[in-house]
Structure 1
Amino acid sequence: MFVVNRAACVGGPVVSLCTALSVSKFSACRCLRSAKRRSPYSSVDSERYSSLVKSVMSSRVSSQTPDTLQAQDEHMYGPVVKASTPSSKQAHRVPKTLHPFLHFKETLETEESESGPPTRIVLNRADTPLVPSVTRILQETLSPSQIFYLERWKKKMVAELGEQGFKDYSQNLFRQGKLFHSAVEDILTSCATRENTNPPETSEYPPEAQGYLESISHVLNDVRAVRATESTVHHDTLNYLGILDCVARYRGVLCVIDWKTSEKPKPFLSNTYDNPVQVAAYAGALNNDANYKYQVEHGLIVVAYKDGSPAHAHQLSSELMLKYWNTWLIRLEECTEQSTQQDGKLLFKIILTVSSFFPNIHV
């Protein structure tokens, strides 16, 4: 207990003299508390502010909805034009001219003997120097996304292997693919010319091709009646050509067969990129080529693997072939348009060159 002899701290309550306070009742917080802060809105003219709020709330703007705002914007700036996405535009694209996939004629022999050696028409570029190939047309009409991923893959491989290393890698892949195709052609030809004989052993072929041959062994067991191998097809009307790998019956269905090699598994048809379009282009040319007395409506893409793991066989029905045939017609039109534009640019350069030598001539 103690006695306070004078008034308490400034700002606190006044304590009379001789007032006894318990220590437990004493606190310094009241003495240290700062003065009450003034509100920043205390100086605002409340009447004027109130009238401003009332005028805004009572105006027409508050009654507008998103629909009326959009109508007002369209009146001032015009309607909003929504661009269609590239994917939807591409999905509905159709060829300008629908050339037939099949080419039946009254004099055409739709059935011919499937025995004997398969047809093999060698490409003679001297006779068709200006006719583009299927491979070239597909390469020149790659989509921007395909070009992007192809360039990214190339840069990645160059970064890992170097320029020369990537060149050697590409040449080695090409060599392996060539050896593989030659081995398959030899197997199919030997089986077609000799009845009731098993395919030759894979050990008879170069080591680079043996893994691929082991990979497609289960597919070859279902291939019969080989009609053509490594043979040239030419579409006279559309003016393109190609060399197809094989025409044979796969599980009883006559198909244009394309043998592919890959370092990565391709279990789905979508993994094969432009290969279905290529097969449809070959089949359409064959159906139009007078050297072949039959029609082919189906296709088969066989993806072989170097490690000998079972190949993936993607069979194309007649409906799918028609779908990819239309895609091929679009790619063919794109290539023709690009060629026309390039010819126009070349002609323009020639005209400029000529006019520079003869300035008095006005073109």
Structure 2
Amino acid sequence: MFILKLVVSVGGSMVPQCTSLLVRNLSLACHCLRYPKRNSPYSPSNSERYSSLLKSVMSSRVSSQTPETLQAEDDHIYGPIVKGQTPSSRPEMREPRTFHPFLNCEKTLETEEPESGLPVRILFDRSPGRTIVPSVSRILQQTLSPEQIFYLERWKKRMVAELGEDGFKEYTQNLFKQGKIFHSVLEDVLMSGETWEETHPPETPEYPPEVQGYMESISHILEDVTAVRATESTVQHDTLNYLGIVDCVAHYRGVLCVIDWKTSEKPKPFLRNTYDNPIQVAAYAGALNSDDNYKYQVENGLIVVAYKDGSPAHAHQLSSELMLEYWKTWLLRLEEFTEQRPSHVSSAFSEKR
């Protein structure tokens, strides 16, 4: 081993100092031989791409986790992702096989409110020998989509779990009772032939306690309802073979409408919250337009949702364009009902709708 001696001057004295430089260099060389240098896992051809990715992420003004940025960089490095065709979020709108007109060409459309008169009320024929005709509500109930059936069953199970079987039965009976009283009180109000202001002074009128909140809820709606033409009246479409009982036909803010009164414990501020109710209104209007008992036509609709707590009701207007779209949907549901209905019917359809 060779030792290199160095002489360092300290305070004027010459002091020899030995530094094992050669030994240190040899030790370092041995260490390098035992542990070879690791190669980068990234090939030279990809280094520029990863450098570009790093610069893009670090210099971006948005979060480095932004999906669009990462996907764009992935596409740049690995190429675009090959995807299958994405299904449309909205199902394709089918057309009925046979389109029956919504309006009756033999009738005229009213452009002005008619002279005042008592509303028409055609009672439902419940005689035993009458011809069996399915109702609008029965047809809609038997043509629910699997999704609608799922949510209805889930709601029922949740209510039974909270209230029990007997409690749930009592709950549904109370809802039916409240709805029946509500429609009865409304019918009395609308059959009077007077305006809401004439029949109800500023003080709060007295109603049965079950419907006091509902009537308060729709009070602002009734102020815009005029020229009532029919209430709780049967309509029937002889060609398509179905019937229903309309809640009301009247002018709402100057437009003749089929009006459907609904009660709810939960807010329904949007038309989509009313589920199949627009289809029901369109079916009523189409039947009325084809029924010879009515000398006029209706091409607009109105769904009024009243609340038990008295909060202001929501009024959902259906324009003539919307009514026509829901009429097409009704024709599809009617076709489905006809296909699944047996050739003979064992029981009469005696329910209201």
TM-score normalised over the length of structure 1: 0.68
* Structure 1 counterpart of 2:91: 88
* Structure 2 counterpart of 1:160: 162
1:212 partnered with 2:205: no
- In structure 1, what residue type is equivalent to 2:120? T
1:122 partnered with 2:88: no
> Which structure exhibits the higher relative contact order, with contacts defined as CA atoms closer than 8 Å and separated by 6 or more residues?
2
Q: In structure 1, what is the Cα distance between the partners aligned to 2:197 and 2:307?
A: 28
- In structure 2, what residue type is equivalent to 1:119? V
* Structure 1 counterpart of 2:235: 233
- In structure 2, what residue type is equivalent to 1:246? C
- The one-character-per-residue Cα deviations of 1:87-139 (angstroms, maximum 9, x if unpaired) are 433x2x01111100001217x79689442210001101346442000000000
Q: Secondary structure of 2:211's partner? A: helix
Shift of 1:203: 4.1
- Indicate which of 220, 223, 226 corresponds to 1:221: 223
Evaluate the alpha carbon distance shift between residue 160 and residue 199 of structure 1 in structure 2; reply closer, same or farther with a 3 A threshold. same
TM-align CA RMSD = 3.9
* Structure 2 counterpart of 1:307: 309
Q: In structure 1, what is the Cα distance between the partners aligned to 2:273 and 2:290?
A: 29
Q: Secondary structure of 2:124's partner? A: coil
Identity, in percent, stands at 69
- Indicate which of 316, 320, 329 corresponds to 2:322: 320
Which consecutive residues of structure 1, in runs of 5 or more, have no partner in the other structure? 1-13, 15-29, 38-65, 71-80, 347-363
Evaluate the alpha carbon distance shift between residue 195 and residue 155 of structure 1 in structure 2; reply closer, same or farther with a 3 A threshold. closer
Larger mean Cα displacement after TM superposition, 97-106 or 244-253:
97-106
Q: In structure 1, what is the Cα distance between the partners aligned to 2:118 and 2:182?
A: 20
- Greater fraction of residues in helix: 1
Q: In structure 1, what is the Cα distance between the partners aligned to 2:215 and 2:132?
A: 36
Which consecutive residues of structure 2, in runs of 5 or more, have no partner in the other structure? 2-26, 36-78, 347-353
Aligned pairs (5 A) from 1:280-299:
280-299=282-301
Q: 2:196 touches 2:223 (CA, 8 Å); kept in 1?
A: no
Evaluate the alpha carbon distance shift between residue 133 and residue 203 of structure 1 in structure 2; reply closer, same or farther with a 3 A threshold. same
Q: 1:109 touches 1:293 (CA, 8 Å); kept in 2?
A: no
* Structure 1 counterpart of 2:5: none
1:267 partnered with 2:272: no
Q: In structure 1, what is the Cα distance between the partners aligned to 2:210 and 2:335?
A: 39
Q: In structure 2, what is the Cα distance between the partners aligned to 1:152 and 1:318?
A: 35
Q: Secondary structure of 1:207's partner? A: coil
- The one-character-per-residue Cα deviations of 1:231-258 (angstroms, maximum 9, x if unpaired) are 0000000000000000000000000000
Q: 2:196 touches 2:222 (CA, 8 Å); kept in 1?
A: no
Shift of 1:205: 2.2
Q: 1:109 touches 1:294 (CA, 8 Å); kept in 2?
A: yes
Greater C-alpha radius of gyration: 1
Evaluate the alpha carbon distance shift between residue 138 and residue 128 of structure 1 in structure 2; reply closer, same or farther with a 3 A threshold. farther
- The one-character-per-residue Cα deviations of 1:129-165 (angstroms, maximum 9, x if unpaired) are 4200000000000011100111000000000000000
Q: In structure 1, what is the Cα distance between the partners aligned to 2:195 and 2:280?
A: 31
* Structure 2 counterpart of 1:187: 189
Q: In structure 1, what is the Cα distance between the partners aligned to 2:164 and 2:216?
A: 32
Q: In structure 2, what is the Cα distance between the partners aligned to 1:286 and 1:173?
A: 28
Q: Secondary structure of 1:208's partner? A: coil
Q: In structure 2, what is the Cα distance between the partners aligned to 1:265 and 1:187?
A: 25
Q: 2:237 touches 2:290 (CA, 8 Å); kept in 1?
A: yes
- In structure 1, what residue type is equivalent to 2:245? I
Evaluate the alpha carbon distance shift between residue 155 and residue 306 of structure 1 in structure 2; reply closer, same or farther with a 3 A threshold. same
Evaluate the alpha carbon distance shift between residue 220 and residue 196 of structure 1 in structure 2; reply closer, same or farther with a 3 A threshold. closer
- In structure 2, what residue type is equivalent to 1:219? I
Q: 2:197 touches 2:223 (CA, 8 Å); kept in 1?
A: no
Q: 2:109 touches 2:297 (CA, 8 Å); kept in 1?
A: no
Evaluate the alpha carbon distance shift between residue 128 and residue 193 of structure 1 in structure 2; reply closer, same or farther with a 3 A threshold. farther
Aligned pairs (5 A) from 1:1-363:
87-89=90-92, 91=93, 93-105=94-106, 113-125=114-126, 126=128, 128-190=130-192, 192=193, 197-199=198-200, 203-339=205-341, 342-343=342-343
Evaluate the alpha carbon distance shift between residue 267 and residue 161 of structure 1 in structure 2; reply closer, same or farther with a 3 A threshold. same
Q: In structure 1, what is the Cα distance between the partners aligned to 2:303 and 2:293?
A: 23
Shift of 1:83: 9.8
* Structure 2 counterpart of 1:352: none
- In structure 2, what residue type is equivalent to 1:284? G
Q: 1:228 touches 1:246 (CA, 8 Å); kept in 2?
A: yes
- In structure 1, what residue type is equivalent to 2:275? Y
